[in-house]
Amino acid sequence: RGPLHFPPGFGWGAATSAYQIEGAAKEDGRGESVWDTFSHTPGRTRNGDTGDVAADHYHRYRDDLDLMADLGLRSYRFSISWPRIQADGAGKPNQRGLDFYRRLVDGLRERNIAPMATLFHWDLPQALQDAGGWESRDTAYRFAEYADAVFRALGDQVPVWLTINEPKTVVQNGYLWGHHAPGRQDPAAAYLVAHHLQLAHGLAVQALRATGGAGRIGPAFNLHPCYPADDSAEAAAATRLYDGYENRLYLDSVLKGSYPEDVLADLGPDSRMVSGIRDGDLDVIASPVDLLAVQYYTPYYVTASGDTTRRWPTSEADWQQIHPEGMYDILTRITRDYGRIPITVTENGLPCPDTLGADGTVDDSGRIDFLRDHFAAAHRAIADGVPLESYHVWSLLDNFEWAEGYDQRWGLIYVDYPTQRRVLKRSAHWYRTVIRDNGC
Ligand code: FCB
């Protein structure tokens, strides 16, 4: 394998999200989110971990900015906490919340790092959950108002906006399986939630255009290449429908203005989702976007009966099979099926059993191998015509991994939680050279 050179100006980055790193859960007027409620409910997270303190980034963001500059990041993807901006999810924005993100964005720009802001990374204000959450159509309109307030405050300083992080994870983990907030197991509700999340996305796109903001905007989807587990006709058919639920439900509605027929038929005309779609909704959802954010972690292998099976070694996250080829497959598939919309990879990464060695280093060579293989797959996709403009490693630093708490470490930077000391892992030093050389 020869050296990989990426296109000039390629946006090497790293990603985080508000609830996973900020802490300061009760400061400066922040309200409660569904993740405060969920993580404080006994039995919901590993070790009962919560995001109350997390990586204390709310207080240490200046040091974290310096670490980003030290790595040479060109792009930093973070999320804005809705309950910091509107404690109860409605009404006049909280200036102290906006000010925090203004300081963060200014700090990025001073260091020549492009800010990429996600509007919603799962921390729905609890007051909105109490009023029905994403099952309620009204939440989509509340989201558009929140987005509008953020665009007015920061729109001149943020070149790229992402609307909703992984709507599918809210649908599946939050409403089908119940191991994420709000912890429901209600398939009928789940797909209505999917529709309202898509609607919220479209309304936010329209809100940005209405403010005349110069920034670009798009959705952030976790996409899963789906392969048949064997070569039977039944497995092929099951894989097709599985792909509908995993990928086309989200991609088609935003990029083609329609939900996939096979998924709608499978849900049935009387389902809460299908009967919840109103005239004009798909036009809103398909409001033109500027780019598509893709998060890739794992493929699925679908059996004739519609279950999934494994083919590759898994990581410390039992849901993740390591298959770099899947990155190539999903990126090229988007360009093939949806045209040459610009793409940013907003998440890809690996949890490792990282420990701080006696010599003060963290040896995560497995993460380096993983990233190198995935960068190579992305590079091949670019060579084959995919307009990929940037790539954000998940994550900048170790953080609160939702139901897994702090046990799973995904960062390039190690966080020693008792002291909040940061230590660059081997992968961070390696990533610095990748960025410097624009390849590896
Ligand atoms: C994604 C989430 C992100 C992080 C990674 C490991 O699904 O968007 O917050 O938890 O998985």
Residue 166 CA: which ligand 1 atom is closest? Answer: 8
Q: Tell me if residue 401 is catalytic.
A: no
pLDDT tens per residue across span 341-396:
999 999 999 999 999 999 999 999 999 999 999 999 999 999 999 999 999 999 99
Q: What is the ipTM of this complex?
A: 0.98
CA of 25 to the centre of ligand 1 (A): 20
pLDDT tens per residue across span 275-285:
999 999 999 99
CA of 275 to the centre of ligand 1 (A): 31
Q: Which stretch of DSSP H or E encloses residue 160?
A: strand 160-165
Q: In the structure, what pLDDT confidence band is assigned to residue 169 with cuts at 50, 70 and 90? A: very high
d(CA 310, CA 302): 9
CA of 219 to the centre of ligand 1 (A): 15
Q: In the structure, what pLDDT confidence band is assigned to residue 431 with cuts at 50, 70 and 90? A: very high
Q: Tell me if residue 347 is catalytic.
A: yes
Mean pLDDT value across residues 312-334: 98
d(CA 440, CA 435): 9
* Predicted pLDDT of residue 1: 62
DSSP string, 203-264: HHHHHHHHTT---EEEEEEE---EEESSS-HHHHHHHHHHHIIIIIHHHHHHHTSS--HHHH
Mean of pLDDT over the chain: 98
pLDDT tens per residue across span 41-71:
999 999 999 999 999 999 999 999 999 999 9
**Residue of 106, 124, 135 lying closest to 32 (CA atoms):** 124
Mind spelling out the 3-state secondary structure of 390-420?
A: EEEEECCECCCCHHHCCCCECCCEEEECCCC
Ligand 1 interacting residues, C-beta cut-off 6 A: 17, 20, 165-166, 169, 222, 347, 394, 401-402, 410
Report the side by side order of strands in the sheet with 226-228: 226-228, 300-302, 308-309
* Ligand 1 atom 4, closest CA: 401
Catalytic choice (32, 347, 401, 404): 347
